Structure 1
């Protein structure tokens, strides 16, 4: 890297740090004006900070352009937890080193199991430090194919469980669209053990699929361990948190009795990923429900 390009890189990182840090301080000031650690139950409850994370897929283009600067900016915003979607050409050891450098912790990861070496996935998870992992995508046209997939998912989940990692399934909208009168999400639930497979509900896609997130939460009560907190624009597209139509306060209020461990900010196609990350953190950190 030339001295000129290095200077541009450092200037950009300093700018990110300054802007994100100022916004984070402002958000923290608002949060500290109330009780230092509000109760998880009762009026004015809020999410514990340790349960807030961000899916790094949201920032994939920024991470590809400037991996270290983007991780540093996330830390400056206030994030301490991230969910992984790849390691951007770095080994597990190298990526863990970067997370440690910026005070970030991987609490979860999207990792596929079909055709994968689960032993290697487990080894990487131990290096990276996460204890939750999720299958991010599956789509089939017949119930028989979904049933076969669910059986494979259960076997993978069992292998992960025996290694000390919880394995789950992350939905999109099509799992709520019936095939021959049966929803694929229900096929997955019936053909997997709750011991082996949990659910990571992407709230945007649950709503887009025509389902009620609260009803779905209680349909499989105890199996929903993670939320992707992604907002829906009035026209149906993606929105920054708090700028869309999904009533997260109502969802969280009605589902706070249960096992959700991670509330993960996500946006599939943000125009300004770091702004989206900042807005998402501030929204979740300050939300009362």
Structure 2
């Protein structure tokens, strides 16, 4: 986690709030509650917005942050290797108006992806300036880029420590997410929020994540469930799927090293029971899955790693 934050600082992408990178009520009533109707409406909205992204989970994606050490040095070569590994979808990170995506403007990136039979259905974007000031110019810039690339989901990947210190702070964040979500909806896009483990810190009898789930409008703000960080935070992702069905439209799939839980490993080689989680995909409402690995064993070639993870997801979990 510290390495990721340091990396973002080096890129100059760590701002006052969000940076790039990366509710516990069950209703058994047969009548549709207002919350359930909101969830249904959210799913319908996402279906309408889902242009580049098929709901076919067989299109396995990868969060390109996995290859952050290689990507800026050889964007085209890395994208070719990603496609050769079997992936059909990529989730971007690190966009800036001046630098684009690792030196490529949105149009050039889309053309590169198309030439390799890839899509990008989601991107992680820095929302820090917007959260700090409320000025929506940053959100509009992000939306413009995402639309050109052909993305469906505009994803908030991280909350800076300085903005998440209390329950009221999370409520204020939720309000801004709703506003950004409305702008995305107007552009036929869907805002999503990606978790780590810090959201599960308790504030009295609730958590930051529960506040975000409660205070954001499901039709405006979807969730990208990072399953590793759920487990790392002591949470059961399936329990959340049951409490908020249909809310978790994207997953980050990365495994936990059996001996060092703070490290990742190839999918299927770690301690997370992904067979059980994938059995509840319908309950989650998941439409896109992205393999991610934030660190590799010293002896492991990154491309061998992502190929191995792809094979396990494709052949064992789907």
Scaled by the length of structure 1, the TM-score of the pair is 0.80
Does residue 1:92 correspond to 2:106, yes or no?
Answer: yes
Structure 1 runs, 4 residues or longer, greater than 4 Å off: none
Unaligned runs of 5+ in 2: 1-55, 95-100, 131-137
- CA drift at 1:273: 2.2
User: What does the per-residue CA deviation read over 1:73-121, in whole Å, with 9 as the maximum and x for residues that have no partner?
Assistant: 1111111111111311221112112112222111111113342522221
Of 273, 283, 288, the residue aligned with 2:312 is 283
Contact 2:57 2:288 in 1 (8 A): no
Query: In 1, Cα distance between the equivalents of 2:156 and 2:124?
Result: 6
Quick check: 2:57–2:287 contact (8 Å CA) kept in 1?
Answer: no
SS in structure 2 at match of 1:122: helix
Q: Partners of 1:180 and 1:149 in 2: how far apart? A: 18
CA root-mean-square deviation: 1.5
Pair 1:130 & 2:144 matched: no
Deviation at 1:258, TM superposition (A): 4.5
The total of aligned residue pairs comes to: 242
Residue pair 2:57, 2:289 contacting (<8 A) in 1 also: no
**Other-structure match for 1:49:** 58
Gaps of 5+ in 1: 1-46
Correspondence for 1:264:
290
Deviation of residue 287 (structure 1)? 1.2
Which residue is 1:111 aligned to? 125
Q: Give the Cα separation in 2 of the matches to 1:59 and 1:201.
A: 20
**Between Structure 1 and Structure 2, whose CA radius of gyration is higher?**
1
- Listed as ranges, the matches of 1:242-261 within 5 Å are 242-261=268-287
Superimposed CA distance per residue, residues 144-199 of structure 1 (whole angstroms, 9 cap, x where no aligned partner): 11111111111101110111111111000011121233200011111110000011
Matched, 1:240 2:261: no
Match of 1:147 in 2: 171
Structure 2: distance between partners of 1:118 and 1:183? 26
Q: Give the secondary-structure state (helix, strand or coil) at the position aligned to 1:172.
A: coil
